[in-house]
Chain A
Amino acid sequence: MSDVFDKCSAWKDYRIAKATGLYPYFRPIEASHASTEVEIEGRRVVMVGSNNYLGLAGDPRVKEAAIAAIKRFGTTCSGSRLLNGTLAMHDELEAKLAKFLNREAALVVSTGFQTNTATLSAILGRHDIVFSDRQNHASLVDGVRLSFGEEKRYRHQDMEHLEKLLAAADPDAGKIIVTDGVFSMEGDLCNLPKIVELAQKYKARVMTDDAHSMGVLGAHGRGTAEYFGLEAQTDLAMGTFSKSFASLGGVIAGPFEAVNFIKHRARSVVFSASMTPAAVASVLKSLEIIESEPQRRARLLDIAEKMHNAFRAMGFDTGVSVTPVVPVLVGDQVKCFRFWKALFESGIYTNPVIPPAVEPGHALLRTSYQATHTDDQLDRVLDAFEKIGRKMSIIPDTRPTTWERVKIARPGTYVISNTASRRWAAASAGLLADRGFSLEQISKLTPKDVAAKLFDAVETVTWRAANLQPDDLKRLSSAPMRLWDKRSEIPGLILEKGANLFMKNGKAPEA
């Protein structure tokens, strides 16, 4: 007989990560200094893992507005928007957002995640087809799951694949293409011009999730659609308040009829408590600042360009990103945890991203920046990355002689992504997942396979030895010295290899 809790006790990853001291998640922040630096475990670290892009979360004006709202309305609305949970502020915010986003109507929902589930579950009927990018955010995936619509997923950024799916779909069915505006982990933009073109060709609607682009992209900060100049051609724009808007919640904006339908029919709106007064007030104040202080956006993109280029100059791979989301490719997830930990210990807070958020073998450290970061803070981040990256052999000991400068999604540039390196492209497609062995795999190996592997290794060593040149011998003799220099890395490496035996790149044993 099986117990529903069986999988919980069989799940080893947490225990391994915890036992090895590498567990990086759910770290409590004890204090915040203007949100660019925080205190965790009594250590003051530079925060480059927050989505507070414009730095408004620590802005005194926003804080003041939130406090005033609490004084006026209390701490919560204690109910759904449908019934007792709508304040005048909610309506005011929706009107202002609709105006800001150039849309007929807007609806605010308690969280960004719920905004997507609400929208998709409400508008997708039984005969509708939704076309979604494979790397879309989990909330979009869940929204589709909650609906009765049929889902067709196209390969990330693969417009030919999208067209193939659109062409193959029933011409009479209702269609919508749903995509992240900025992909949250890799930082590239959706190919909106092509998506819009295809949508018009095949009579489909378009929805963009502008969680990471609202407030950041476009001349006025209205997100991906404004950046591409395609606002009239995208039907629904979704945004969150937990990033540039320094609050919590989400917005869906579009034609009045659609938004009104979602407002009344989406279960995550009707059966959920509304945004708290403090949250609404912070968004209102942030919106005002976003409209009046465009220099924050410019500074943010300057920082993004500086960081991308600096990382690339050191030999890091920041992939396809054209935004202030600056991912640094590590590859192996345990190595990623180790890198994260070493950076944390030297005062830098980043986010380790491992499967299933990315493909196995594509673990990366996701850094993101705030317009309020000082140059000094950024230089500290770069120094730590270079020092530790070299020590952990993530980058070479000397800087590469050539590297490609990054393209940044500034207004008017219309860039979509940077060229991916071969390794990035392969990792992103999940092709680097099968490196090494997990305990599962080893247990499946026959003694013959083990012997074959062993003999192959001997073969390679013999070949190398047969080809040693005088210079190689010189290098070999200095190997003990180099090993001694990196001796502090050895326990970590053993840990990495050992931990990987149990949890290979996040592939759960039962999966």
Chain B
Amino acid sequence: MRTALRTPELSPAPPPMMSADVVVEPVLRPSDRDAFLEYQLRLYQGDPCYVPPILAERRDFLDRGKNPFLQHAELELFLARRAGQIVGRIAAVSDVQYNQFHNTEYGFFGMFECEDDRATAAALFAAASAWVKRKGMKALMGPVNLSFNHDCGLLVEGFDLPPAMMMPYNPRYYEALLTGNGFRKAKDLWSYELSTHVAPPEKVLRVAERVREQDGVRVRPLDMKNLAEETRRIKSIYNAMLERNWGFVPMNEDEFDLIAARLRPLVQVRPELCLIAEVKNEPVAFSLTLPDSNVGLKAANGRLTTWGLPIGLAKMFWAMRGIDRLRVLLLGVKPGYRRRGIDALLYLDTMRAARDLGYTGGELGWTAEDNDLINRAIESMGARRYKTYRLYERAV
């Protein structure tokens, strides 16, 4: 039941500790937008874990005409400068669909990058707060880059390993920048590490095989000859299955198509890892497991071409040959088929396929910390929680 508006009861932001020499301005020119995107490359220079995005992709991502998300959400980018030098950036998002779906009044911030200076961060948060307040929001949540359907959360545990594909990564000091500016935890998101060499517990195997036989569940890989048809099938399960999860916002057709288009090349590399479970020919669950393309992205270092030659692209393909890790991006079961062990069955089959293909392991996630059903299932497979991403909020 959605009755009264769930207004978060949060303590107001502390008096901003502004430093006089930092100027925060909205991004209005294309040249500023490029500077906004390129800032992170400079910030993370020398960080062995950092995976730079393809800048051309990021440019399209911020382009209203090319990113369907921005057609229903409003976005403002801010840059912080000290003496002309960029020292921080933040994006403020007003997503009407999220607030309608969850009956909340949250504005979001994301794409947050900042030097290690609390006052600079305070100025950035103040700009984002003021902007979402003008949009009528009561609280600011983030980092969400730029919605829960993209990557989100601030890495607070597990800095030793590079991020899996489509997961955020940030310096350690960001946590202090947020908590020092009056943000408090809204939710933790967990990621698990699962090795293919760990034998699944006997009990899980038994449950899974029983489901396969008793319920007549058929697990099959994606049919690559009929990809358009398969995409439609997955879309129908996707919007039905995640509905009650924390942070979930249904994607519209265009958003789904864009993400599907981006992931398609990876699916095509290993279609054996993307499984659909059917009961009497009706798709009831699917799991999407992809080779962790971050290895390739890291090799490309932000560009597909250098001096006009497709060097980054070549490096990327070369690096992709050696990928031995996976990310289980999505696994979901339609309501009505849950608590039967279909998820365990999908995990098992994915693991088997992965081991046969020579993958050593991978990341499962994210899952919300209070999603006990899925967390227990993952843990029962012998997976180890290895990264925590945190979402923060504060009143505006």
Residues of chain A at the chain B interface (Cβ within 8 Å):
426, 429, 431-432, 434-435, 451, 454-455, 458-460, 462-464, 466-467, 469
Contacts and interface: CB of A to CB of B under 8 A. Distances in A.
B305 A458 contact: yes
A431 B31 CA distance: 11
Contacts, number: 39
Contacts of A454: 308
5 contacts: A431-B28, A434-B31, A463-B56, A467-B261, A467-B262
**Interface residues of A, dominant DSSP:** helix
Interface in B37-95: 54-57, 59-60
B183 to A, nearest CB: 29
Contacts of A459: 55-56, 303-305
Nearest to B262: A467
A429 B26 CA distance: 13
Contacts of A462: 56, 304-305, 310, 313
Nearest 7 A/B pairs, CB to CB: A463-B56, A458-B308, A462-B304, A431-B28, A459-B305, A455-B308, A462-B305
A16 B269 CA distance: 56
Contacts of B29: 431-432, 434
Interface in B248-303: 261-262, 303
A454 B30 CA distance: 17
Contacts of B310: 462
Q: Which of A429, A434, A435, A463 has the most CB of B within 10 A?
A: A463
Given A431-B28, A463-B56, A463-B57, A455 B307 contact: yes
Contacts of B303: 459
Contacts of A435: 30
Contact residue range for chain B? 20 to 34
A458 B161 CA distance: 33
A455 B261 contact: no
B307 A463 contact: no
B306 interface: yes
A443 to B, nearest CB: 19
A463 B60 contact: yes
Q: Which of B29, B30, B31 has the most CB of A within 10 A?
A: B29
Contacts of B54: 463
A466 B307 contact: no
Nearest to B59: A460
A441 B350 CA distance: 57
B304 A469 contact: no
B191 to A, nearest CB: 27
Nearest to B56: A463
B313 A466 contact: yes
Contacts of B31: 434
Contacts of A432: 29
A5 B216 CA distance: 93
Nearest to B302: A459
Given A432-B29, A460-B59, A462-B310, 4 more contacts: A431-B28, A455-B307, A459-B55, A467-B262
A466 B304 contact: yes
A451 B309 CA distance: 12
B304 A463 contact: yes
Interface in B289-340: 303-308, 310, 313
Nearest to B260: A469
B12 to A, nearest CB: 23
A479 B60 CA distance: 21
Contacts of B308: 454-455, 458
Nearest to B28: A431
A451 B262 CA distance: 29
Given A426-B28, A431-B29, A469 B305 contact: no
A455 B312 CA distance: 13
Nearest to A434: B29
A487 B109 CA distance: 45
Nearest to A426: B28
A454 B60 CA distance: 18
Contacts of B28: 426, 429, 431
A436 to B, nearest CB: 11
B239 to A, nearest CB: 21
B307 A460 contact: no
A455 B306 contact: yes
A464 B261 CA distance: 12
A451 B59 CA distance: 20
A438 to B, nearest CB: 15
A394 to B, nearest CB: 16
A179 B310 CA distance: 57
Contacts of A455: 305-308
B261 A460 contact: no
B89 to A, nearest CB: 18
A469 B261 contact: yes
A226 to B, nearest CB: 33
Nearest to B265: A466
Nearest to B64: A422
Contacts of B262: 467
Contacts of A458: 305, 308
